[in-house]
Chain A
Amino acid sequence: MRRTSRIIRIRRSPDDHVTTPLTRRTAAVLAAGVLAVSLTACGGGDDDSGDDDKGGGTEETRTTVTLPKLDGARLQVAAVWTGAEQANFKKVLAEFEKRTGAKVTFVPAQDPIINFLGSKIAGGAPPDVALLPQPGAIKQAVDKKWAKPLGAEARAELAENYSQGWQDIGKVDGEQYGVYYKAANKSLIWYNTQVFENAGASEPKTWDELLTTAQTVYDSGVTPFSVGGAEGWTLTDWFENVYLSQAGPEKYDQLAGHEIKWTDPSVKEALTTLAEIWGKKDYVAGGANGALQTGFPESVTQTFTGGDQPKAAMVYEGDFVQVNIGETEAEVGTDAKVFPFPAVGDTAPVVSGGDAAVILKDSEAAQALVTFLASPDAAIVHAKLGGYLSPNKNVPDSAYPNAVQQKMAKALVDAGDDFRFDMSDQAPQAFGGTPGKGEWKALQDFLKNPRDVAGTQERLEADAAAAYGN
């Protein structure tokens, strides 16, 4: 309609007036187009959730957990998830609502969630359940007497579905507080298969092979790595993988607890190794300055867009990268593939992360929700939607939507108790989890100036000493 009216107007109007209505029209059409796009973007999410709810309802008949009837109960769940992650989790909550009749509201929280909860609790209105991303945060919540221990049903569900290691990191002083609902495998490197094919590169198994692969890719005219350095956590994850594999789990645990100093030779070695990639000219997309302004989502999308000539060939991060790949046209499993982080030392590292559900306001409904989250039922609903790994060993591989996902889930569950939890997540918030401070900032500075190993170590140690208080 709009187009026809424009044509008519052009025909009728005298020549000297043609330009004005035309440009005005174009502007209007443009504006309307933008509006329409934003509207569909908003509407899209809602539609999806509606559809999938129905789909899930008919298809998902499996129930392994018995939940009480909770008609009229209201619950608030706080987590820092946004975008697709949040939308998918809401579908799990919807399943819980359907089974119990309780009404669950999702409360979007900001990082660091522990401070967000602090202000909520000070205001007298804490959410019933919160998903805490760090073991340190669980301990803090327990120390401040915010967290409530799990009831018998939740503990039973947990014992049935989780390996000892995953149960233990949810414990504080022997008491079970957290259910690790969501896990992340943070020892993965994603790559653009087209670029690897063009360059004739292959998946590396060791650090040296990784360097060779990077050189091959670079020789083909593509920058090897994309680093999302605007957010410091991607950098700490890089470091942790190198350190865990090179220095070994014992040192890793000591450094995580700040029992050894950051000025330790092992840290020097790890940083020097890291500089073999970060410090090499043209190995990082956009150079160090460009990388420092690249957010994590963009670091993924720029690796998987641009056809034969993406901005980078590989991007390191956890399994959740596939959520961002979903925003591009690349298909996980064909256009985007993954290989485990190569072994720098003797064995390849398995660094994991996770979000634990913790009860802040004890009630039958809150206990029921945590029990549900500990069950395979909740994990299966979420797994089908993609971008999610469960440490729950009773979730069948078939629940995951694709082969890549199944591979990652299997690796995670198979690692049993041999995984190590993300080091920066174990550190005090001020050191390991604050934008522009502590480890995040120190590694950003290191990315900018990879020659300054000693200076980086000193800064890390100074910040760590202040944050750990020793």
Chain B
Amino acid sequence: MASDTAAGASKTAPAAPRSRKSVTGTRTTVAALFLLPALVLLGALVVYPIGYSVIRSFYDQSGDGFAGLDNYRALFTDDGIRTALKNNVVWVVFAPTVATALGLVFAVLTERVRWGTAFKLVVFMPMAISMLAAGIIFRLVYDQDPDKGVANAVWVGVHDTFAQSSAFPKAHPGRESPLEPAGGGAFVTKGTVSAGDTVTLPLVGVAPDVMPDDAKPAAPPEPEADRITGTTWQDFTRGKGVGTLNGVDASELGYAGMRIEAVKDGEVVETATAGADGTFSFSAKADGAQLRLPGSNFKEPYNGLDWLGPSLVTPAVIGSYVWMWAGFAMVLIAAGLAGMPRELLEAARVDGANEWQVFRRITVPLLAPVLAVVTVTLMINVLKVFDLVFIIAPGSSQDDANVLALELYRKGFAADQPGIASAIAVFLLLLVIPVMWFNVRRLRREVRR
């Protein structure tokens, strides 16, 4: 209704002075003269490049032959471009909505806390960082090595509080070992043992610095009547290799705490744990059994998630984008929030609405125009995302993280396909136009109001 009357007013306004001069009395030539610099700049820097890109997109790789729609056909048949398209859809759907939602939450919450401004400042701060720097930061955050990447450090920390890793992660049988792999990471003796026997279970490959602190030099097993005794130890002497093959040498350490199972017909009949010098013993019950070192001894330390691997790379990069832009959304929404009539909120509260209802039924609907502007602005922004993907995704998963703007760059400057690159550019432009049109229309309506 309001816009109707406003539109009516603006229609009648220019109708009044029907002369060649405008309201302020300037001639059209003078107006043109003043507009000229801007028009020339716009023409040279915006219109001409767009026009040239459109023309170039119809020519082949060298730019000499007319290619018709071939470049556009390539757009929808090339695997790389198709992944890029798919990823762009994921980006456009998730990045703006998540950033806006987070911005809304921050804006509403910061309004209520005492240090709201300080908090806003912190959330907004990433906006002051260039995309490139943010990319480098997040390349480190997502580093695979838990000692370097914060994301994996946290993830591994959480994981390890629930599941302990073992002391002998990479231990394995050496040459001519009496042990053989038994599946599931376990090792089992090739033969069976009988009472009165001594058994040696040599392994290699445990780094000296991860050996348990209480490990002592290994002791050779002492035979005992009616019992099976044995030693399990690191059959490797520093600087000398294995030393006596499958025999205990003086400086070799016992595997303190290694668990050993005696297995008969697939059933565990007895278990033992090696002492500090690697010795263990079984009772006569284990007679005729095979000895097994269960896989739990050798469980690899958990190494965290493969953030920048093929499957997680796009969500990971979107995460870094949200980190940057949630602050932007928050500031705009907070501005909208400040301009909101308080009486409505008060009235709702007086009527007995709880905070969630106030938020859901009053705040969000009243903020809808602002939310729409923020989302749409972010959408335009997301369509052209390039730097974050280019920097964060390592070469090996760049294909999986591909987006249109990156593919444009790769086709144009790495694969030397300017025709296809131009076609991608035109396609991106077409994608942005409806969103832009929406934004311009909205802006015009705002102005009229």
A residues engaging B (CB < 8 A)? 110-112, 114-116, 118-119, 197-201, 216, 218-222, 229-232, 282, 286-287, 289-290, 292-293, 295, 308-309, 429-430, 434-437, 440-441, 444
Contact = CB atoms under 8 A, between A and B. Distances in A.
A282 B205 CA distance: 10
B207 A222 contact: yes
Given A289-B144, A290-B144, A218 B306 contact: no
A229 B396 contact: yes
A266 B303 CA distance: 37
B170 A435 contact: no
Contact of A435 (B174, B240, B308, B414): B414
B416 A118 contact: yes
Interface string B37-61: 0000000000000000000000000
B395 A436 contact: yes
A199 B396 contact: no
A292 B396 contact: yes
A219 B239 contact: no
Contacts of B209: 308-309
21 contacts: A110-B413, A201-B241, A219-B174, A219-B204, A220-B236, A221-B170, A221-B204, A221-B206, A221-B207, A221-B210, A229-B396, A286-B145, A292-B309, A292-B396, A308-B208, A309-B207, A430-B416, A434-B410, A434-B415, A436-B410, A437-B410
B314 to A, nearest CB: 15
Interface size bracket, B side: 35 or more
Contacts of B395: 230-232, 435-436, 440, 444
B157 interface: no
B290 interface: no
A224 to B, nearest CB: 11
A221 B238 CA distance: 10
B234 to A, nearest CB: 8
Nearest to A119: B413
Contacts of B205: 218-221
B241 A200 contact: yes
Contacts of B204: 219-221
Contacts of B398: 435-436
A436 B395 CA distance: 6
Interface string B133-171: 000000000011100000000000000000000000010
B144 to A, nearest CB: 5
B416 A221 contact: no
Nearest to B170: A282
Given A199-B241, A218-B205, A221-B207, A230 B396 contact: yes
Interface string B382-409: 0000000000001111110000000000
A344 B382 CA distance: 50
B242 interface: yes
Interface of B: 80, 143-145, 170, 172, 174, 204-210, 236, 238-242, 303, 306, 308-309, 394-399, 410, 413-416
Nearest to B207: A221
B239 A430 contact: no
B154 to A, nearest CB: 18
B394 A292 contact: yes
Nearest to A196: B239
A293 B241 CA distance: 32
A200 B241 CA distance: 5
A322 B425 CA distance: 42
Nearest to B307: A293
Contacts of B174: 219
A219 B416 contact: no
Nearest to B169: A282
Contacts of B208: 221, 308-309
Given A200-B240, A222-B207, A309-B208, A115 B396 contact: no
Contacts of A116: 413
Most buried by A among B204, B410, B414: B414
B414 A293 contact: no
Contacts of A201: 241
A111 B415 CA distance: 11
Contacts of A218: 170, 205
A359 B419 CA distance: 28
A219 B309 contact: no
Contacts of B172: 219
B396 A293 contact: yes
Contacts of A308: 208-209
A74 to B, nearest CB: 27
Shortest 8 CB-CB distances between A and B: which pairs?
Answer: A221-B207, A200-B241, A219-B204, A292-B396, A436-B398, A230-B394, A435-B395, A444-B396
B139 to A, nearest CB: 10
B241 A216 contact: yes
B399 A429 contact: no
Given A308-B208, A435-B414, A436-B410, A286 B241 contact: no
Nearest to A112: B414
A218 B171 CA distance: 10
A231 B398 CA distance: 11
Contacts of A290: 144-145, 303
A429 B416 contact: yes
A111 to B, nearest CB: 8
A437 B415 contact: yes
A415 B286 CA distance: 64
B393 to A, nearest CB: 9
Contacts of A230: 394-396
Most buried by B among A110, A220, A441: A220
Contacts of A430: 415-416
A201 B394 CA distance: 34
A311 to B, nearest CB: 9
A221 B308 CA distance: 28
Contacts of B309: 289, 292-293
A289 B308 CA distance: 9
Contacts of A436: 395-396, 398-399, 410
A429 B204 CA distance: 45
Nearest to B206: A221
A294 B143 CA distance: 9
Contacts of A295: 394
B78 to A, nearest CB: 11
A295 B391 CA distance: 13
A286 B240 CA distance: 26
A220 B174 CA distance: 10
